Structure 1
Amino acid sequence: MKYTTLRDTYKILTFAMGLGLTYPNPKTEKRRVVCILISLLTIMPVSLMIFWDIYKCWLRRDILNIIRHCTIIGPFLGGFAKMLIMHLKRSAGKQIIDEIDRDYAMYNHLPPAYKAIVNTSIQKSLIYCERYWGITVLTCVTIFPLMATVLNIYNFLFKSEPEKYMIHDLNNPFAAPEDRFNSPYFELMFAYMMYCCFFYVINYLGYDGFFGLCINHACLKMDLYCKAFEDALKEKNENAIYEKIVGVIKEQNRLFEYVDLIQESFNKWLGMILIATMIQICNCMYHITEGFEFDVRYIIFIIGSVVHIYLPCRYSTKLKHESVETSTRLYCSGWEHTTSPRVRSTVLYMVARCQRPSEITAFNMLVFDMDLFVSILQTSYSMYTLLRS
């Protein structure tokens, strides 16, 4: 069997979802809940320490360090919010995976022309949703421990009085600020933050990549039933044409149900990143321009933040465009060559239904598309100029 399951096709993505406790497997549901609680407990100390330092910074009106902490802790806790959202939406998530597995099993029996379309779609998903997105997440997160490690090694090898660097500079709440570099606190915090970086990677690699994969599969379903509709009209027998068109309509209805599942699973997450990304981009720009020195880590982080909101907008726009384009493809499929009234009337309803675009919204209100992406960047810059003033 050339096409098997989602887990076998996208091994890296589903592995990250499993580690990130966002893979909706009913067999591991109780175990996943326990692991989520344990994970929240393990990251609670560093979160409380950061919030305590934010409070101390607020007392002395140290806005720069408040923004520096918020830039890190916001997306970090957002990763754990994904665990909770996916647990609450585990039923819809499981139905999405089951639908993809069902489709892959069906694709094994399709003609070569259809398999070529499937192969192209899967290859694009592997490249963009798994490989390129994985590189983006790894670059944005690992730049922090990598730079800290390189600077520590360089200072200890080439400087008589080496200066220590933390992954994220955080004061010891029970000691003076300069004591944060004393042993064993420094070494323990370095290892602890490496552990936090691990959660950063798996939380953003799996869940966000899964959204892009779901959208790409919806577009694949549209391509296939448009191709099936064109082939159906090439049949010589009227009953054969009608029977195959009925099959196309069934697949079209499955698509609409599938898109509804995507909407149900991700609409709260999309609303969350919509607000969080505007704040994140604003914070990063402020830190870069108003900080004490140029920091390449936050340059990469702001690029990653822009990519993080660009991809959902881009995928949602792709779904919207493909759904509208479907009506044109159906209309241009050669229906005028058939004289059957019931076939022609069926085509009319199919075209009319496709003219209503399939859209993904945040909080069931804001449509995700490229216009929204531009609006997010404009709002982020407005917030940045307001913060500077």
Structure 2
Amino acid sequence: MSAKELRRTKKHTEDSRRFQSFDETFKYCTYGLAFALIYPNRVTIKKRLGIFVFFMFANSIQLYWFGTALVTSLIRLDMVNLTRHLTVGILIILFIFKTIYCIYNTEKFENILNTISDDMIEFNNEKEAFKDTCEEYIKKARIGQLVWVVLPIFLALQYPVYAGICLIYDNLTMDYPGRYMVHEMDIAHLTAVQDISPYFEFIFIMSLLTVMCLVPNFIGFEGFFCISTTHLCLKLKYVSYIISKAFEGAEDSLELNNKIKQGIQIHQKALKYYEDLQNFFEPWLFLIFVMTSTCVSFNLYQVYILTSPDPKHIIFGITTICHTYINCVYASNLTQCGEDLALDLYNVSWEKRFDIRGMKLLIFMIARAQRPLELGGYGIVVYNMQLFIAIMKTSYSFYTLITN
């Protein structure tokens, strides 16, 4: 067979597979994980850790300037600059935590990702009716992926774009134009010359590169949360599909019981996958609960204290609220799918077959499906829409406290 025929055969085989692996299905998330050095590959753990250490060392000057400005604001009790620096500091803390955490827990991360890939490939063997359901949930996961492509890029670009617009406007309209940094702060040891060339350009470029390096981390990890939770919803639908097909298509009692046992095994795998998700995301979910609540409060304070609204703080606050809202939505969808499973199992055609053993197995599955599938942090917070409302109320309460 010629090389051309081999390529044609390979392409035909790939086209016949409606669903592919995680890397092929969710490319944006995969690229984000790879560029952020957190794609779960056990072979590259040491290499990724080494690159991360080098990256932190390369940005050590920036971190030193930022840390000095933060400590100075704290010593002076300068709440305006302190809250402004802390909003950016929260992003840096989340970036460092997620990178180290994902590298350290590569095995857990890899198991979840491989489960998604294996399931996607396995679903190619099912009938078209269930494949349509798969397409529906893949679209939901891709929506979450797309949201986490747009939000981090939009948030990161608003800093240099805003500074650039202000620089251009001042140069066109003023004899002595001002200088605007990516993030305004007093640069340690360079305060007197930080607005003079070439120091200003050097600081601006370094700040721009640092900000843009944070983007892949949020695209990859937050996007993966939306994808993995949606995939669990799909696994639960797969359980109800298998049980429904068992009661509708089994020819005798033996075949019925065997197919129900297959459904039980798939259900147990789904529950194991849920436990893996909870164990892996738990520290991160707790951390972002604390961080986003604080961040929203600080941005409200900035909007309140300034004489004229600053677009940067308004955009940052909206983005932070969206961060919390999206996570709560996808976690709530998972909980709802878990509740729907018990109803879906009850609605199968069990009344058409009087099989005592099959009925007992089905009752066992219905009882097991009534356990709530909730994602949260250390039993302190549970992610759902009630949590989102509570975070907004808490943030406003904290805002009123610091304004007083």
TM-score clears 0.5: yes
| Deviation readout 1:101-133 (Å, 9 max, x if unpaired) | 11011011111101101111112211x222122
The C-alpha deviation readout for 1:46-78, integer Å capped at 9, x for no partner, is 222122112222333321011111111211221
Query: Is 2:199 the partner of 1:185?
Result: yes
Quick one: which amino acid aligns to residue 128 of structure 2?
P
Count, aligned residues: 387
User: C-alpha displacement at 1:152, in angstroms?
Assistant: 1.4
Give a deviation string over 1:338-385, Cα, whole Å, max 9, x none.
Answer: 111100000010000001111112124422111111111111111000
Q: Is the 8 A contact 1:170 1:180 kept in 2?
A: no
Structure 1 residue 232 corresponds to structure 2 residue 246: yes
Aligned counterparts, 1:290-305, within 5 A:
290-305=305-320
Choose the corresponding residue for 1:85, options 85, 92, 101: 101
CA deviation after TM superposition for structure 1 residue 7, in Å: 0.6
CA contact (8 A) 2:331 2:375 kept: yes
Deviation at 1:35, TM superposition (A): 1.2
1:292 Cα deviation after fit: 4.2
SS of residue in 1 equivalent to 2:111: helix
1:208 matches 2:210: no
Give 2:115's aligned amino acid: E
In structure 1, C-alpha distance between the alignment counterparts of 2:45 and 2:76, rounded to whole Å: 46
The answer for the alignment partner of 1:116 in structure 2 is 132
CA deviation string 1:7-40 (max 9, x = no partner)? 1111111101111111111121111111121122
SS in 2 for 1:168: coil
CA distance in 2, matches of 1:175, 1:166: 14
TM-score by length of 2: 0.93
Shift of 1:218: 0.2
* Matched ranges for 1:58-207 at <5 A: 58-126=74-142, 128-176=143-191, 179-207=193-221
CA displacement 1:303-333 (0-9 Å, x = unmatched): 1111111122111111111111100110111
Task: State the 4+ residue runs in structure 1 displaced beyond 4 angstroms.
Answer: none
Letter matched to residue 194 of structure 2: R
User: What does 1:33-72 align with in structure 2 at a 5 Å threshold?
Assistant: 33-72=49-88
User: 1:60 and 1:164 mapped to 2: Cα distance?
Assistant: 24
CA deviation after TM superposition for structure 1 residue 149, in Å: 1.3
Q: What residue in structure 1 maps to residue 378 of structure 2?
A: 363
User: Over the residues paired in the alignment, what is the CA RMSD in angstroms?
Assistant: 1.4
Partner of 2:6: none
Instruction: Name the residue aligned to 1:256.
Output: 271
TM-superposed deviation, 1:175: 3.5
After the TM superposition, which of the residue ranges 149-158 and 290-299 deviates more from structure 2?
149-158
Measure the CA separation in 1 of the matches of 2:37 and 2:374. Answer: 27
1:385 and 2:396 equivalent? Answer: no
CA distance in 2, matches of 1:130, 1:207: 10
Amino acid in the other structure paired with 1:205: I
Higher alpha-carbon deviation: 356-365 or 276-285: 356-365
| CA apart distance, 1:221 | 0.7
Unaligned runs of 5+ in 1: none
SS in 2 for 1:181: coil
Q: Percent identity?
A: 25
Q: Which amino acid aligns with 2:257?
A: Y
Are the counterparts in 2 of residues 267 and 364 from structure 1 also a CA contact under 8 Å?
Answer: no
